[in-house]
Each structure stands twice: as structure tokens, then as C-alpha cells.
Amino acid sequence: MKRCIAALLLFISLCPFLIHAEEGMWLLSQLDQLNLKQYGLKLKPSDIYNPDKPSITDAIVWLGGCSASFVSPEGLIVTNHHCAFGALQRASSEEHDYITDGFLAKTRANELEAIGMNAYVLQEMKDITDDILKSAGAIDDPVERDRIIKETIKATTEAIEGDRDDVYARIADMYNGKQYILFVYKRYQDVRVVYAPPRSIGNYGDEIDNWMWPRHCGDFTFLRAYMAPDGSGARYSPDNVPVAPKSYLKVAKQDVKDGDFTFILGFPGSTTRFRTSSSLRWNLNYSYPEIVHEYKEILTLLDDVTRDSKEGQIRVARLKAGLENTMKNFQGRIESMTKTNFLERKIEFESELTNFINENPDLKQKYGAVLSQIQALYDTLEMTKAQDDVLQMLRFSGTLPEIAVSIYGAVREREKPDSLRNPEFSERNIEKAKEKLHLHYYGYYEPADRAMLTRMLKQVAALPDDQRLSELDDIVAHIDGFVASAYDSTKLDNSEFAEALYDKSSAELEALGEPLFTLAARMYSARDAYHKRQEKFAANITNLRRRYIDALYAWKGTALYPDANGTMRFTYGNVAGYKPADAVCYKPFTTLKGVIEKNTGVVPFNMPPKLQELYDAKDYGIWTNPQLNDICVNFTHRCDITGGNSGSAVMNAKGELIGLAFDGNYEAMSSDWQYDYDLQRTISVDIRYVLFITEKFAGAGYLVKEMMGNK
């Protein structure tokens, strides 16, 4: 296997011209093959990533869904405003609405506990492909092979973590299981909010501007990570001290200019660059439109039930933000793919691949049936699609139903023989679920919960006869009555009561008299069957996708970075505008003047009055960009990113901090499927706008001084 990986890296070093220079979310172990000096990098690859001594990657932080970075020797972290949104929502109340008003800690003693947030810092990265694949031996059955590999991964990571709750180990597969890499992180469990600007800066333009250029958004928040005096990543305590990172980023000495080299280190979540037309067709014609439709309905429902309740609006704010963001992203994907005939072009590409394979008898024997076999697997999804859609959307049936389903499912899994359990099940994971359970209640608003459960049950009632969930017939026959009984006397709205239920048997849960556990029990068989279908599909499709990638190697022999999967990646490119349509040309910079011009005084363009005062007085401090004769707010550049990169540090050729990535552009929403050199752009907030807002607007010059010293 190591020979296979070495050959792959050889392709990268020999054939960089076969892809655009700026394309790719590269592993840290691939930096040496990218020849970055010729594109403008002033650093050596070992300055960026060095497993033996401090390097820039030691300053990069994962927040469990977003990216961030250390920017001072005392644990100060900068990320996007929307990445800290959950922490602000959990701390907010009708009396203290930190989402709307923002938050500033005048002293470290006043820093706000970021409930539920952890900061992870990479400690080790190691290729363990041989060890993982050896465990599966010569097993041919993809499902059994997948099961053994998952069991090996679970045993390996649990052994590394031991009883330390400040160590997190993850084994990630690359190239659909052709390579396995171990990542070990230090987990800091005490994270606090230092400064978050008001929403009218941090999310200026909201969903109207989301994914759009030009943008004028101050999407940033400062956090601080703390540790116990002994250096362990302890939970929140007044005795904890700021983390002393091995490395932290320095603010750039010069302003960003058009054409400047930039690079990003962050944690992109998921891409599908090496999928076939079968997957593309399924998502474009079924999955994406269905999700857009569902999310739109849920958002309307949430608006209706919280219209007259400030408490309700705060409670559902995090859920709404996530739904709105994903919905617009998928709308953009549909529009972009349709406009560019993306599916037809993918089919044409595969036709050329097929012709190449068929010309060689050996290749035809190996790969001739791969594309048709992949399509056959997708055809099986059609048979149970309506029921699967409902079961999948259970996560939007309300907080309490989701909790009941989760607890009941965990208990039933525990009661199975080892051979029949989900290979990733463990008592350790149940303990983690119990620890996190209370976080769900920060988003609980009973009227919204009732409405979402009612909506879900109506969807169950509307299923076609051949996919009916007959176990729920009596429930869906009296939906209003069932929902009323479920909430009128429930004890599940108490997190301590709910947590204790993990230790009961399924029979005890069913005997509680809680209608939501009756619902969970009735749905269990259908959900269990659904998960088994998904496991079988995933194992078989992954096996076929590996063979598809092998066919691509045989055809193109091209450079190949792995699809994003939440692990740290490097990407680079130059500052550049773009041309989205005929006679339209976007420059790569927006300024404070543009913020003022968009201001209407009405959400989401309700700029704070103080910002107008600073603009009128031209009280910009040292943050003016002399080329723009204004403060640069946002800029676009060619770095290749996706969801999960939010909050990523953007650095210049010297490795100095110049901004934070927070978005992509609407015209390139199909970028998870294919990189587009002409259209795809990263949108970042300029670090000088971050520091201008922090110093001049918030009056927090002490944070600027902490980052920059006396400069």
C-alpha cells in the first residue's frame, strides 16, 4: 500500500501542469510536491508544516466544524462570527441578546464561557494505511470488510485516547479507503468569548448577501482557549490559565494587493470531486431540490411560531442560520449546474473514459463495468426514497423527539449481541452523548417543537402505501392529540431526567408512559432497517469508487488530492476579481464606503450609527489601505475551499495573517464537484477591517496590542 501512495505522490510531482495551480485541498504531507516557490511563496514547506518543531500548523485550530487560529502567545483565537454563533446563542437571553448586540470582555475575568465549544490543535499526523488494511485481510465482501475496518479504527482511537478527555484521535480515510491517516489532537475544553461584534457588523447583509459578491461583512469573533495549570485541556474553571500555543500568527505588515499570493490552512468539510454522473444526477435531480423544499418549509414554520416571541427567536436562531445557509448553498448548486450543463459534461467525460477502457482488454476486464455498477446501486435508492427521506428528516422533528429517538436507539444498540452491533458503537460514545445532551436544550422552544413534530407526522401520514410506516398508523390518525399528549406532561424537557435514561433498558423506556418514547420504539425497526440499507450502500459504493479512481489513474495519471473530509488542508492562490457574466467585472476589494452605501437602517443592512460617525470623521487609525484610500473590508482570491473552512486564517507569502475566509461566491456553488479557475473565489474579511472594528468601533485596543505588541 505504501508503494501505491508513493506512486500517487510521484504523479503529483511529475504532472502538476495537469490541473490548475490554484486547485486542490492538499494534505500537509503533500506540500513538498507542490513547488510553491514558483507561485510566490517566500517560506519553505517545513515552515508551514514540520512534525519535529514548531511551525505555522501549530497555530491552526479546529473548532469541531469551523477553522480558527491562535493570534497571540496567550491563547487568543480569531475565527468567523458565524462560527461562534452557537456560543453566543447559548449565552443569550431576552435580557442579554449577544447575538444582536455582540459581546466585549473588558477584562479576562469577564470573558464569556463559550458553552459547548472546544478548540482542537493537531499534535500528530501519521499514515497507518498498512495497519488498517491488514486488519481486513483478504475479505472480499465490502460490507464485512467495512465492518472490520470500522472496528479496527474504533479500537485504535480508543487506545490512543485512553481515559484522557483532552485527547482526540481520528483516523480518516483518503481516496475512498486507499489511504488511512491518523490525526491526534489536543482538546481544550475551556473556550471563552472575548469579543464578538454586533450582528449588524458580523452578519451584515445576512441571507441577502450570503454567498454573494460584493460583500461587506465583518465576519469575525475573538475567543480565548484556557488550560489547567498543569497544561491539560481541562473543562471551564476559574483556576485555568490561557493556553500558550507552540506557534501563533503575526499580523501582516503590508496591505493586501491585487495579485498577491495567499494561502489558507483550515479544515474543509466535504467535497465530491471524484464522484460519477450517477451521484451527480441523484443529487441534482432528487437530493438538492428535496432539501431546499424541506428547509424552506421548516424556516417558514419557525418564523411563524416565533414571530411574537423574543425568547423563541433566540432559541431557534442557530437552527435557522444553519438551514438558511445550506438552503441557499444548494439553490446555488442547482442553478450553477443547470446553467453550465454540468451533468451533460460529466456524462461526456465518462464516455471518453469508457472508450479508453474498452480499447484495452485488461482495463476493460478490471473497470469496464464500474460505471454501470455504480448506477445500479443508485437505482436501488429509488425503491425506498420516500420513506428514507422521512426517516432522514427525523433530525428536524423537534428537540425532544430527537432526544427520545437518540436515547432509545443507543439503548437498543447496547442490548444487541456484539456481532450485530453497529461497529462504531461503544459505551464511551454513550458517555460522550450524555455529556453533550444539555446542549440540545439551548435550542428548545416548545411551540416550535410541537409544530415540527406535527409536520413530521403529517409527512409520515402522506407516505405511499408501498412505503408506509404501518407501526405509526394509530399515531398519524390522531396527530394533534398525540402531539398534545407528548408535550403536556413530558419530563423529557428536563436534561438531568433525560440523561439518566441512557442507563435504562428499552423495556423500561417503553414503560415510562412518555409518548415520545412510544414514537421512538414504534419507529425503531424502520430506522434500523434504514441504517442497514445505508451501511450496505456506503460499503458497496465506496468499493466501486476506489475502482473508479484506479480507472482515472490508468487514463490520466494525473495529480490527485483527496476529497475534503474535515482534516487539515492547505490551499493557495492569488488575490483576483472575476467576471461572472457578459459585461460584468468584479474587482477583488470592497471598502468601508461600500458598507455605508448599503446601509438602509433596516435589517439586514442596519449598520451601527457609530460606524457612520467613524466614516464621516475618517477616524480610521492606522488601518487605511493607501491604494484604496479607504479601509478594505472584504477581498476575493483563488484559494480552493468549502464548508468547514469558515474562520480559516488567510496568509500572505511570508505566512503573515491578512484575513479570515468566510464564504465562497454564488456563481461557483458547484465547486464541491469541480474546481472552476475562472469563477471560483474565496471571500475573506481583511484583517485590517477586523482590527479597525476591534479598536475604533469596540474600543478594545488592548486586544489589538495583544496581537501586535507595540507595533
Query: How many domains does the chain contain in total?
Result: 3
Distance CA 452, CA 226 (A): 38
Same domain, 55 and 96: yes
- Would you state the cell numbers that stand for residue 84, as one nine-digit string? 461562534
Please state the rounded mean pLDDT for residues 86-106: 97
Write down the residue that cell numbers 443507543 correspond to.
410
Question: What is the model's pLDDT at position 560?
Answer: 80
Active site residue 480: no
Strand 682-686 to strand 76-79: parallel, antiparallel, or no bridges (unpaired)?
A: unpaired
Q: State the DSSP code for 60.
A: E
The whole-number pLDDT of residue 556 equals: 83
Q: What is the pLDDT of residues 397-443, one digit of tens each?
A: 999 999 999 999 999 999 999 989 999 999 999 999 999 999 999 99
Report pLDDT digits (tens) over 641-695: 999 999 999 999 999 999 999 999 999 999 999 999 999 999 999 999 999 999 9
Which residue out of 82, 279, 640, 663 is catalytically annotated? 82
**One domain for residues 245 and 263:** yes
Same domain assignment for residues 550 and 572: no
Report the distance separating Cα 429 and Cα 161, nearest Å. Answer: 12
Question: Under 8 Å CB-to-CB from 360, ≥6 apart: which residues?
Answer: none
Pair 290, 605: CB distance under 8 Å:
no
In which element (H, E) is residue 179 found? strand 179-188
Is 332 found in the same domain as 224? no
Unique residue bearing C-alpha cell 394533534: 480
Of 127, 154, 188, the domain-final residue? 188
Instruction: From the candidates 166, 219, 260, 388, give the one annotated as an active-site residue.
Output: 219
Print burial letters for 608-631: b (CB count within 10 Å at least 16), e (below 16): beebeebbeeeebeebbbeebebb
Is 50 exceeded by the pLDDT of residue 28?
Answer: yes
Give me the helices (H) in 501-584, please: 506-510, 515-556
What is the extent of the structural domain holding 180? Answer: 119-188
The pLDDT assigned to 20 comes to 60
> Pick from 172, 188, 204: which residue ends a domain?
188
Residue among 665, 639, 686 at smallest CA distance from 264: 639
The whole-model pTM stands at 0.95
Place of cell 408506509: 468
In tens, the pLDDT along 110-121 reads 999 999 999 999
With a cut of 60, say whether residue 354 has pLDDT above it. yes
In this structure, are 522 and 574 located in the same domain? no
**What are the cell numbers at 387?**
420513506
Contacts of 86 (CB under 8 A, 6+ apart): 116, 117, 318
What is the Cα–Cα distance from 390 to 377, expressed in whole angstroms? 20
Mean of pLDDT over the chain: 95
Q: CA 185, CA 330: separation in Å to the nearest integer?
A: 32
Residues 183 and 198 in one domain: no
**Residue 98 and residue 46 in one domain:** yes
Same domain, 173 and 162: yes
Q: How large is the angle between the packed helices 446-461 and 385-392, nearest 10 degrees? A: 170
Q: Which tens digits make up the pLDDT trace of 35-86?
A: 999 999 999 999 999 999 999 999 999 999 999 999 999 999 999 999 999 9
CB atoms within 10 A of CB 672: 22
C-alpha cell at position 227 = 488550560
* Burial class of residue 673, CB neighbours in 10 A (0-12, 13-18, 19+): buried
- Please report, for the domain that includes residue 619, its CATH number: 2.40.10.120
CB 222 within 8 A of CB 691: no
Name the pLDDT band for 17 (thresholds 50, 70, 90): very low
637-647 in b/e burial notation, b at 16+ Cβ within 10 A?
bbbbbbbbbbb
- Do residues 115 and 85 touch, judged by C-beta distance below 8 A? no
CA distances in angstroms from 313 to 157, 207, 238, 304, 455, listed in the order given: 40, 16, 31, 10, 19
One domain, residues 196 and 171: no
Please indicate, yes or no, whether residues 524 and 588 belong to a single structural domain of this protein.
Answer: no
Structural contact between residues 533 and 525, judged by C-beta atoms closer than 8 angstroms: no
Q: Distance between CA atoms of 613 and 269, rounded to whole angstroms?
A: 40
Q: Do residue 582 and residue 690 come from a single domain?
A: yes
Mark whether 11 and 140 lie in a shared domain: no
How many whole angstroms separate alpha carbon 244 and alpha carbon 76? 9
Of the residues 92, 646, 671, 684, only one is catalytic, namely 646
Where is the domain boundary, 163, 188, 213? 188
Residue 549: CA atoms inside 13 Å, Cβ hemisphere, count? 23
Tally of residues, the chain? 711
Residue 45: its H or E element: helix 45-48
Percent of the chain, pLDDT > 70?
96
The answer to whether 478 is a known catalytic residue is no
Mean pLDDT of 504-528: 97
User: Cα–Cα distance between 67 and 86 in angstroms, integer?
Assistant: 14
d(CA 60, CA 120) in angstroms, rounded, equals: 9
| 96 catalytic residue (yes or no) | no
pLDDT at position 15 is 36
